[in-house]
């Protein structure tokens, strides 16, 4: 059965373009033009993912996302926000409301489908000792070591302790955008002595660490929002 994706968007042209792309990607699109229609669609059947426009008549996409994150019925549904270029600065607010990812208008069908697949794939192979592997990167959680390359041709990665924790957090939470303050909370334990700018420094070091293996592109900057680690590196 095809995964059902709810599109909450008031502009017919974008809604139709998205629905067309979703059908091509073998998803089942459902439309809602505002918050009320969205509630009805969700009550009818819980979607596998929601594409939520930021600018909606009446209740905004941001308010809706916050509401859905509070309610038991909708808490676990992945949400991808559709934003216009000028709304980039508001994205942090969206991230803090629990949105999983963003797509900035105008976007291509290909880009949209790639983001959807990534968010849906989030249930990664992530076993108890904290070992995780994504693409050509592997963390041996028990040994606290990182390896790069394919099986048989793996090489150990020399990595600092903070970069290790950052990478481990990213790899166990891949394809999701985190703001600097969220990374601070998760990786540094919300230490008040660490400035948000420090995160940029460690991100740069992490990229340098991965550069010799041509894997630095996995650590992505999301303008106006923060950082994302992605196994789906688009060349």
What binding mask, one character per residue, do residues 29-68 give for Ca ion by CB under 5 A, x or -? ------------------------x-x-------------
Q: Shortest gap between Cβ of 150 and Ca ion (angstroms)?
A: 44
- Considering the rule CB under 5 A, would residue 10 count as an interface residue with Ca ion? yes
Whether the ω angle into residue 106 lies within 30 degrees of 0, i.e. cis, is yes
In angstroms, what is the minimal distance from the CB of 168 to Ca ion? 38
When the beta carbons of 105 and 207 are compared against Ca ion, the nearer one is: 105
Query: What residues does 70 pair with on adjacent strands?
Result: none
Q: Tell me the closest approach of the beta carbon of residue 57 to Ca ion, in angstroms.
A: 8
First to last CA, the chain: 31
Please choose, from the candidates 143, 141, 137, 138, the residue with its C-alpha nearest in 3D space to the C-alpha of residue 127.
141
- Which residues are CB-neighbours of 230 under 8 A, at least 6 positions away? 118, 174, 175, 218, 220
Stretch that binds Ca ion, among 6-14, 38-46, 103-111, 153-161 (CB under 5 A): 6-14
**Between 87 and 163, CB nearer to Ca ion:** 87
Closest of 101, 129, 127, 133 to residue 231, by C-alpha: 133
Shortest distance in whole angstroms from residue 107 CB to Ca ion:
14
- What is the size of the binding site for Ca ion (CB under 5 A)? 3
Half-sphere exposure of 196 (CA within 13 A, CB side): 8
**Site residues (CB under 5 A) for Ca ion?**
10, 53, 55
């Amino acid at each position: 059965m095809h995964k059902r994706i709810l599109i909450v968007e008031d502009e017919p042209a974008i809604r139709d373009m998205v629905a067309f792309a979703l059908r091509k990607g073998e998803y089942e699109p459902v439309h809602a033009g505002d918050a009320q229609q969205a509630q009805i669609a969700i009550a009818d059947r819980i979607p596998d993912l929601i594409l939520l426009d930021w600018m909606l008549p009446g209740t905004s996409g941001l308010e809706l996302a916050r509401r859905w994150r509070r309610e038991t019925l909708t808490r676990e549904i992945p949400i991808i926000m559709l934003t216009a270029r000028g709304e980039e600065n508001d994205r942090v607010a969206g991230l803090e409301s629990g949105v999983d990812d963003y797509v900035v208008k105008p976007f291509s069908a290909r880009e949209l489908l790639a983001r959807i697949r990534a968010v849906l794939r989030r249930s990664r192979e992530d076993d108890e000792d904290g070992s995780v592997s994504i693409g050509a990167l592997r963390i041996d959680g028990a040994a606290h070591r990182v390896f790069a390359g394919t099986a048989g041709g793996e090489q150990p990665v020399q990595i600092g302790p903070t970069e290790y924790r950052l990478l481990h957090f990213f790899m166990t939470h891949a394809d999701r955008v985190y703001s600097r303050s969220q990374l601070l909370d998760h990786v540094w334990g919300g230490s008040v002595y660490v400035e948000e700018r420090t995160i940029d420094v460690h991100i740069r070091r992490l990229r340098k660490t991965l550069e010799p293996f041509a894997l630095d592109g996995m650590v992505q900057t999301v303008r106006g929002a923060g950082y994302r680690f992605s196994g789906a590196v688009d060349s």
